[in-house]
Amino acid sequence: MSDRSARRRRLAGIALAALLTPILVGCGGGAASAPPSPTQSAALPSAPPASTEPGPLVDTDALIAAAADRDGQTVRVAGFFLATGDTAQLCSVVMESYPPQCGGSTIRLTGQVPADVLDGLDKTTEPGLTQATWGWVNVTGTFRASGSDGQPVLEIAQIELDDSGA
């Protein structure tokens, strides 16, 4: 099996797990609780405090699905990095063109990517093609569910190559 096929199967498995988890959790056998009576005070859930610890490594789709809950928090996310021109992003779906393109949801990346990471990524070198840099990475940074353009943004604190191929 090629690395590309293994990556595709792994991404499909992650996507399936992300889709099925809410369904399976919702089907739990716990007893339904009655709504609070007018004399009881219903405690509203408070937003979790902004976390400075990144927590477990998640994929791009999982982070986007939990965007409202993770807004302003430090996160660790694995994804497909694609930079063209002055734009860098993590892609939830990779379209197999040359150079590759993002499909599906994306998270815009801001901040600096160290030279050693850039050197480890693939690049187009052919004249006449869109100049791009791409590869699998793990990024730690501050997540914003909605940046200035309304799209999710991750401010890079640390970025490293993911040799496992996500």
pTM of the shown model? 0.67
Question: If you average pLDDT over each of 23-27, 46-50, 119-123, 147-151, which comes out highest?
Answer: 119-123
DSSP code at position 3: H
What is the spatial distance between Cα 99 and Cα 43, in angstroms, rounded to a whole number?
Answer: 51
Check if the beta carbon of residue 133 is closer than 8 Å to that of residue 118.
yes
Q: What is the mean pLDDT of residues 101-109?
A: 94
What is the spatial distance between Cα 47 and Cα 55, in angstroms, rounded to a whole number?
Answer: 17
Domains of the chain and CATH, by start: 51-166 (2.40.50.200)
